[in-house]
């Protein structure tokens, strides 16, 4: 999915403007960004700086007002809603701050959800779910409901759900924001392992410098613009 | 099928609410089946009425008798093939709640007029040979455990016998079956000559006449000719097709079809609101979860399908149970104890019920489903 330069993600001249009545709120300004394939990137910045907006543009959950967003060789800013949904199902894994597991489904069923969108047999789905839960160390908790799991375990299930389709890109929005330091470290270890051992490209939004330090590269977003890169 | 687990899991979310909604749908479809059977019972006589049969009754009211002498005159009218008569007996068998129609008739003429009543030849001969003989329909015979050879006592409420007392005794010489499912097999028929000789009053009168016409296309002209023949007599007549006669008889209880439609319309509108409200609440409570599904890659069409499937599942479970329960209740028998001679669940109404189940599912889920498709995942994920 990478281009000739080895970049997986390329954003050029991206602007994002929200309208609130007659008021225009410029969240992102002329933003350029390249993310290499297999890179673990942290995005930091204060609240309202546009981190989550940037992540949503990368996930195809939102479109830029201007500029282009290319992932692999596909211009996702030009895709229809239907095309974007299909693209997300195949190429993107999302990890949320508050896990966003469906409370009525077991851990395994939650992990299986993205696989319902791809043509696989039940047996194949079960195998992939088992593998994903094994990677995050929760094979033994497969039948448990989210309410029976700790916060850290729920986030691991969320990560298993994000990687079960073997996506190219994993986007994590404050994945440790709701966890204590020790549990958060476990989640960061897991994300780092996914990048290191499975070659995943990971973009993580965080407030926490400690979490950002685990990434290979950290970018700061301030007033809608990326600040110079800082060494990891 | 792969989404079934997800659909069923959603029902576990608010079990009481799902159960109550399903129960309300069950009640609606039980009522649907039961009322359909009642409506059918009332219109059945109209449906099976012979196209070539007319009924002649007193112009004032059906309870007014007509002279027996009219039969010969009617048979002289052009276009009339045959005529026979019947009268309302209105007796009681053992208990006033045991309601069924009893009619004194001329056996040969009546059986010729109603070929759909199938009586074995030997029993027919026995009836012609036995003055106190009577035949009963299969339904009524089975209901009271009658067998050929039984003596059936009927207490008179109108026609007391000459000899004193009020009990008439009949020898059951035959049991008839219907040629079709809709044929009335709840009648008790006995000989008019026996009735005529033994009744304490009213001799020489009958209740009404049946006419078979040569050409059903000329029924109106024949009816007019019959009524003209008895115009300005002490017992003027009103002649109509058997279908119109039965319908008029049924409508003495009101326009049952219109009442049934009104009740069912009210019930279904209410159920639609109940089920629609359940689905709207379900979607509203799950805004964030639907946002997650969309973020994971579920398309608008898939989300629409999921919500509609959930709504349809609710309707199918409730409606299916309701239709089945309604079927069982109707099969258990006529709730009036015999006032509705034909009481069964019409197949066409069952199919209509299945269609209503699907329509209910779609209608209840459509608005919430469209609402779900309009959700933008970014906004839905922000909701608490």
Helix (H) or strand (E) segment spanning residue A111: helix A107-112
Note whether A96 contacts B292, CB cutoff 8 Å. Answer: yes
User: Rounded to whole angstroms, how far apart are CA atoms B381 and B384?
Assistant: 8
Those of residues 162-201 in B touching chain A at CB distance below 8 A are: none
Note whether A109 contacts B5, CB cutoff 8 Å. Answer: yes
Our CA-based measurement puts residue A231 at a distance from the nearest CA of chain B, in whole angstroms, of: 31
Chain A residues in contact with B377 (beta carbon < 8 A)? 61
Residue B163: its pLDDT value, please? Answer: 81
Q: How far is CA A15 from CA A140, A151, A203, B113, in A?
A: 45, 35, 19, 91
Size (chain A), residues? 232
Our CA-based measurement puts residue B295 at a distance from the nearest CA of chain A, in whole angstroms, of: 7
Q: What does pTM read for this prediction?
A: 0.70
Residue A47: its pLDDT value, please? Answer: 85
Chain B residues in contact with A82 (beta carbon < 8 A)? 299-301
3-state secondary structure of A16: strand
Residue A86 CB neighbours (<10 A): 17
Residue B286: its pLDDT value, please? Answer: 87
> Can you give the C-alpha Rg of chain B in angstroms?
29
Phi, psi of B63 (to 5 degrees): -80, -10
Our CA-based measurement puts residue B362 at a distance from the nearest CA of chain A, in whole angstroms, of: 23
ipTM field: 0.90
Q: Which residue of A has its CA nearest to B292?
A: A100
3-state secondary structure of A13: strand
Count residue pairs from A and B with Cβ separation < 8 A: 65
Q: Yes or no: say if B221 and B54 are a contact pair by the CB < 8 Å rule.
A: no
Residues of chain A with pLDDT under 70: 1-5, 228-232
Query: CB-based contact (8 Å) between A82 and chain B?
Result: yes
**Which among B298, B316, B305, B292 is positioned nearest to B370, based on CA atoms?**
B305
Residue B317 CB neighbours (<10 A): 18
A48: left (phi over 0), alpha (psi -120 to 50) or beta: left
Note whether A86 contacts B297, CB cutoff 8 Å. Answer: yes
Phi, psi of B148 (to 5 degrees): -60, 135
Tens digit of pLDDT at every position of chain B (384 positions): 788 888 888 888 888 988 999 999 999 999 999 888 888 777 665 555 566 889 999 999 888 999 999 999 999 999 999 999 999 999 999 988 888 899 999 999 999 999 999 999 999 999 999 999 999 999 999 989 999 999 999 999 999 999 888 899 999 999 999 988 778 898 999 999 999 999 999 999 999 999 999 988 888 899 999 999 999 999 999 998 887 777 676 666 667 778 888 888 898 899 899 889 988 988 888 889 999 999 999 999 999 999 999 999 999 999 999 999 999 998 887 776 666 667 788 889 999 999 999 999 999 999 999 999 998 888 888 776
| DSSP output for A99-131 | ----TTS-HHHHHHGGGGGS---HHHHHHHHHH
Chain A residues in contact with B13 (beta carbon < 8 A)? 103-104
Those of residues 38-67 in A touching chain B at CB distance below 8 A are: 56, 59, 61-62
Residue B245: its pLDDT value, please? Answer: 76
Those of residues 235-294 in B touching chain A at CB distance below 8 A are: 288-289, 292-294
List the beta bridge partners of residue B92.
B155
- Residue A215 DSSP symbol: S
Extract the tokens encoding A19: 């309208």
User: Rounded to whole angstroms, how far apart are CA atoms A142 and A169?
Assistant: 24
Spell B339-348 as b/e; 16+ CB within 10 A means b. Answer: ebbbbbbbee
Extract the tokens encoding B279: 């689905």
Residue A230: its pLDDT value, please? Answer: 47
3-state secondary structure of A62: coil
Q: Yes or no: say if B104 and B89 are a contact pair by the CB < 8 Å rule.
A: yes
Sheet containing A66-71, strands listed edge to edge, beginning at the edge strand earlier in sequence: A23-36, A7-20, A66-71, A74-75
Residue B327: its pLDDT value, please? Answer: 92
Residue B9: its pLDDT value, please? Answer: 84
Helix (H) or strand (E) segment spanning residue B38: helix B15-48
Query: CB-based contact (8 Å) between B8 and chain A?
Result: no
A49-81 per-position pLDDT tens digit: 889 999 999 999 999 999 999 998 899 999 998
At a CB cut-off of 8 Å and minimum separation 6, what does B76 contact? none
Note whether A104 contacts B297, CB cutoff 8 Å. Answer: no
User: Rounded to whole angstroms, how far apart are CA atoms A158 and B13?
Assistant: 20
Task: Using the structure block, give the residue that is written with the tokens 């007549």.
Answer: B237
Q: Yes or no: say if B100 and B186 are a contact pair by the CB < 8 Å rule.
A: yes
Q: Which residue of B has its CA nearest to A103?
A: B13
Chain B residues in contact with A61 (beta carbon < 8 A)? 295, 377-378
3-state secondary structure of B114: coil
Note whether B297 contacts A88, CB cutoff 8 Å. Answer: yes
Note whether A105 contacts B5, CB cutoff 8 Å. Answer: yes
Chain A residues in contact with B381 (beta carbon < 8 A)? 96, 100
């Amino acid at each position: 999915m990478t281009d000739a330069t080895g970049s997986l993600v390329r954003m050029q001249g991206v602007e994002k403007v929200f309208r609130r009545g007659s008021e225009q709120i410029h969240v992102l300004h002329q933003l350029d960004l390249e993310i290499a394939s297999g890179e673990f990137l942290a995005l930091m910045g204060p609240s309202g700086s546009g981190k989550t907006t940037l992540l949503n543009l990368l996930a195809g959950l939102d479109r830029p007002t201007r500029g282009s967003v290319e992932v692999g060789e596909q211009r996702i800013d030009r895709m229809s809603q239907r095309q974007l949904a299909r693209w997300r199902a195949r190429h993107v894994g999302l990890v949320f701050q508050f896990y966003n597991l469906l409370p009525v489904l077991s851990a395994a069923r939650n992990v299986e959800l993205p696989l319902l969108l791809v043509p696989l047999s039940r047996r194949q789905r079960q195998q992939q779910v088992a593998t994903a839960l094994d990677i995050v160390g929760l094979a033994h908790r497969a039948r448990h409901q989210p309410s029976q799991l700790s916060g850290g375990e729920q986030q691991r299930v969320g990560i298993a759900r994000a990687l079960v389709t073997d996506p190219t890109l994993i986007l994590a929005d404050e994945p440790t924001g709701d966890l204590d330091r020790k549990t958060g470290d476990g989640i960061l270890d897991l994300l780092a392992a996914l990048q290191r051992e499975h070659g995943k490209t990971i973009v993580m939004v965080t407030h926490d410098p400690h979490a950002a330090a685990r990434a290979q590269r950290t970018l700061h977003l301030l007033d809608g613009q990326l600040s110079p890169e800082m060494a990891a | 099928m792969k989404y079934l687990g997800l659909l069923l899991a959603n029902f576990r979310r608010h079990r009481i609410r799902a159960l109550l909604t399903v129960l309300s749908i069950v009640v609606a479809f039980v009522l649907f089946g039961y009322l359909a059977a009642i409506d059918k019972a009332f219109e059945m006589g109209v449906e099976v009425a012979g196209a070539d049969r007319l009924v002649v009754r007193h112009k004032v009211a059906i309870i007014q008798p007509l002279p027996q002498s009219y039969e010969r005159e009617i048979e002289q009218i052009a276009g009339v093939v045959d005529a026979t008569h019947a009268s309302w007996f209105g007796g009681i068998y053992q208990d006033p709640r045991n309601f069924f129609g009893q009619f004194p008739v001329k056996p040969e003429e009546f059986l010729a007029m109603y070929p759909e009543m199938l009586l074995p030849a030997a029993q027919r001969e026995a009836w012609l040979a036995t003055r106190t003989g009577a035949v009963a329909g299969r339904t009524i015979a089975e209901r009271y455990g009658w067998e050929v050879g039984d003596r059936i006592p009927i207490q008179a409420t109108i026609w007391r016998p000459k000899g004193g007392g009020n009990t008439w005794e009949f020898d059951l010489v035959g049991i008839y079956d219907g040629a079709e499912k809709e044929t009335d097999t709840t009648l008790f028929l006995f000989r008019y000559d026996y009735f005529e000789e033994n009744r304490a009053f009213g001799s020489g009168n009958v209740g009404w006449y049946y006419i078979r016409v040569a050409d059903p296309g000329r029924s109106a002209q024949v009816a007019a000719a019959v009524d003209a023949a008895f115009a300005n007599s002490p017992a003027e007549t009103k002649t109509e097709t058997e279908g119109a006669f039965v319908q008029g008889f049924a409508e003495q209880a009101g326009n049952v079809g219109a009442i049934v439609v009104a009740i069912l319309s009210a019930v279904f509108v209410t159920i639609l609101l109940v089920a629609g409200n359940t689905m709207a609440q379900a979607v509203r409570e799950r805004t964030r979860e639907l946002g997650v599904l969309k973020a994971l890659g579920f398309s608008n069409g898939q989300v629409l399908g999921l919500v509609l499937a959930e709504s349809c599942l609710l309707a199918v479970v409730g409606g299916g149970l309701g239709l089945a329960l309604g079927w069982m209740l109707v099969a258990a028998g006529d709730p009036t104890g015999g006032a509705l001679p034909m009481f069964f669940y019409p197949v066409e109404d069952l199919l209509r019920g299945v269609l209503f189940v699907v329509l209910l599912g779609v209608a209840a889920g459509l608005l919430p489903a469209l609402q779900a498709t309009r959700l933008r995942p970014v906004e839905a994920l922000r909701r608490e």
